[in-house]
Amino acid sequence: MAFVPVLSVVCAQCGEQNSELGVCCSACGSTLPSETIAPDPDETQPSAPRPFLPLVRDPRIGQSIGQYTILGVLGRGGMGVVYRARDDKRRRDVALKFLSAALVADAQAKARFVREARVLSALDHPNVGSIYELSEHEGHPFLALALYEGETLKDAIARGPLPMADAVRVVQRIAAGLAAAHDAGIVHRDVKPANVILTSSTQIKLLDFGIAKLLDPPTGSSVLTQGGVVLGTLAYAAPEQIVGEPVDHRSDLWSLGVIAYEAVTGTPPFHAKRRSVIASRIFADEPTPPKQLRPDIPEALTAIIHGLLRKVPDERIQRAAEVVARLIELCSSVQPGDSIRPRSGAR
């Protein structure tokens, strides 16, 4: 007997089960109900048959938008759609990220996207994905982004824990990218392995600032919600982020701690089938000590992970730059492991 997945919001348009926080279906882009964390169903409840809907070809595929020819869809998420496109002027492939139709209708959301994208376009760092330009097509703003060949950190971890030297290097480079963003007053809000690309040239890039938020200068924090939905990905969201409380750069540092834990152990620190259980564990539980799962983890790295996963923001490591400095120091004492060999793919 098939069972209903307990990570739910079901899209009324296509029947897709959406397990991540967002305002639009990850499959078809339709607006989701505002209540994203549904009551847990009885585990014995059989799944209802999914409605059959014919596949609808994305109308943008094949279109020429300015100097870009759209070739196909790279991914869909709560904030919009990312396409692979050919830059006919510069003869290179790029990623075009369009703000979702649901958010384009929100004048404030559209204005924020444009304002924040302009700030991000000025963020030049070797560990942050490059933004080429901000433009608009038929009232829909979009970003032209660098397209990286390689694989995501999520895919790399799916094969098992990373060699220790690689884990330290990856976390250090992500922290360096975050330090640059935070210095520019930008909170990423969705730091997770799926948003880190290991390129074919062994670079490490932090991507998808699509729900990034500029900190409000007077307070240094912001309530990060959109239409009653907390933005981000639950398994990597800080306690304060889940409940929609004001957050700042230290919420990104919590997410970095989750990534570090997962990179060295191969499993996330707060794992469960039910979203409500994941949220409860983030608030109340301490993860299994990484040393129990990975005996060769250096004590210094264990201390960094624990320092990032403090429930109270004031008790966490306070700056990404501190993480970078501590990991650079640690690198000299870690024996080299097999280098990460990214598999083919593009982001």
Show which residues are catalytic. 190
Instruction: Please give the Cα distance from 249 to 189 (Å, whole number).
Output: 8
Count of Cβ atoms closer than 10 Å to residue 175 Cβ: 30
Count of Cβ atoms closer than 10 Å to residue 268 Cβ: 18
Instruction: Please give the Cα distance from 282 to 280 (Å, whole number).
Output: 5
Q: What are phi and psi of 316, to 5 degrees?
A: -80, 165
Instruction: Please give the Cα distance from 324 to 175 (Å, whole number).
Output: 6
Residue 3 Cα to chain centre, angstroms: 28
Instruction: Please give the Cα distance from 11 to 28 (Å, whole number).
Output: 9
Instruction: Please give the Cα distance from 100 to 104 (Å, whole number).
Output: 6
Instruction: Please give the Cα distance from 290 to 308 (Å, whole number).
Output: 13
Instruction: Please give the Cα distance from 151 to 202 (Å, whole number).
Output: 10
SS3 state at 209: coil
Taking a C-beta distance cutoff of 8 angstroms, is the pair 114, 135 a contact?
Answer: no
Q: With CA atoms as reference, report the closest residue to 80 among 60, 64, 53, 94.
A: 60
